[in-house]
Amino acid sequence: MPLTLPPVSRIALFGSLCQNDRRDGLEHLLMALRKGGIAVYAESGFKAYLESMGIESVTGIPQWTGPDTPVDAALSIGGDGTFLRSARRLGGTGIPICGINTGHLGFLAHFTLEDTDLLVALLTAGGAPVEDRMVLRVESPSIPPALWPYALNEVAILKEETSSMIKVSMEIDGCFLADYLADGVVISTPTGSTAYNLAAGGPLIEPTLRCMAISPVAPHTLTLRPLVVSGEAFIKALTTSRASHYRVSLDGCSFRMERDTEISICRAPFGIPVILRPGEDFAYTLRHKLLWARR
């Protein structure tokens, strides 16, 4: 049975710092939340940005200081990149995230600032649909300690800025799969299937499924094609290169790895709850944001 959002009385705000043309809409959102009786907490950087825009409604709003700040839900105001950053801050807490799109396509954001009154009504009354989205976990001794080792969209193994390809020797559940000779390999969640995975020629996947897509980036052979595997699979990837290093990217946060090193990828022990707009499903998103079957 689909999850639904209980009534919200406390909410955290996260947002992009590049939306000066949205001042009036942001002011209206803050005023509507206050009028609806919802206590608002704002991430420190976003609060400072709102104050710099002269938005009066931000006065007196306390800072969101982390998981110890008790909130029922979070608003991510921006594009998909902002949503992914919000997910990194909230991952593992179980706090559902609602995306308000002020960016471009916004696959992860199901509302706009023009929907403020509808959204606040849904938050106060409860009942909005919520989808639990699968997250990937990456393990390796070489991962920087400060990095959040999870990805809502994808894990990308990529060559450095060089013309030389890399070789990614991949195992699934202890069984050898293939040597990927390519510019890289993308391991995607269903949520991320419309992101880098799609650009690499990978399949679109309904976001509530529990699976992973493995898609090569510019493979140096015609016999490598995207592959969908179980969400319970345990993937090992050993990467070699002529260059001394390669890159690993988790939802766009990348770091260098020395060649001849291995990473493991599996399903995380938690998901990210995403608040949806009633009446919008995956097919609706495909038709309206990817212009699915448009002639």
What's the confidence (pLDDT) of residue 271? Answer: 97
The pTM score is 0.93
Q: What is the mean pLDDT of residues 260-283?
A: 94
pLDDT at 1 over 60: no
153 in Cβ contact with 81 (< 8 Å): no
Q: What is the mean pLDDT of residues 72-88?
A: 96
pLDDT in tens, 183-209: 999 999 999 999 999 999 999 999 999
CA–CA dist 61, 39 (Å, integer): 8
What's the confidence (pLDDT) of residue 293? Answer: 80
Give 24's pLDDT tier (boundaries 50, 70, 90): very high
Q: What is the mean pLDDT of residues 99-108?
A: 88
**H or E element in which residue 52 lies:** helix 44-52
CA–CA dist 266, 274 (Å, integer): 21
CA–CA dist 118, 13 (Å, integer): 17
Give, to the nearest 10 degrees, the angle between helix 116-125 and helix 23-35. 30
Q: Which of 1-10, 66-75, 118-127, 259-268 has the lowest mean pLDDT?
A: 1-10
72 catalytic residue (yes or no): no
Report CA Rg, the chain.
Answer: 20
Q: How many CB atoms lie within 10 A of CB 82?
A: 26
Identified catalytic residue from 24, 68, 72, 80: 80
Q: Which residue ranges form the domains of the chain, and what is each CATH number? A: 3-134+271-289 (3.40.50.10330), 136-267 (2.60.200.30)
pLDDT at 223 over 70: yes
